């Protein structure tokens, strides 16, 4: 009886871990391709970070770039 319980718990743990790693893999699947290798931004300029991106694969959150200080 103990062997059946232990085997059942091991199977459940493996299934849980397999599902967890699959979710993490999906989150890490996003990639960006930039238009240029370097970008020059002047202090005080209003900048939209999306303007620097050539191609996006997956879901990406773009940060707001603060240029008020160097």
- pLDDT digit of tens for each residue in the chain (70 aa)? 566 676 667 776 766 666 655 555 556 678 888 898 888 888 898 888 888 889 988 888 888 888 888 7
Estimate to the nearest angstrom the gap between the alpha carbon of 12 and the chain centroid. 27
Q: What pLDDT was estimated at residue 60?
A: 83
Q: Of 23, 19, 36, 26, which Cα lies nearest the Cα of 57?
A: 26
Q: What pLDDT was estimated at residue 61?
A: 85
Do 60 and 34 touch, CB atoms closer than 8 A?
no
Alpha-helix runs per DSSP H in the chain: 2-27
In the block, residue with structure tokens 């743990």: 13
Q: What pLDDT was estimated at residue 4?
A: 64
Tokens of 28: 């890490």
Do 32 and 62 touch, CB atoms closer than 8 A?
no
């Amino acid at each position: 009886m103990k062997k059946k319980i232990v085997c059942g718990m091991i199977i459940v743990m493996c299934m849980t871990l397999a599902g967890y790693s699959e979710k993490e893999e999906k989150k890490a699947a996003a990639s960006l391709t930039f238009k240029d290798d370097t970008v020059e931004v002047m202090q005080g300029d209003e900048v939209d970070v999306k303007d620097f991106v050539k191609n996006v694969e997956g879901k990406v959150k773009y940060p707001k770039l603060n240029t008020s200080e160097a």
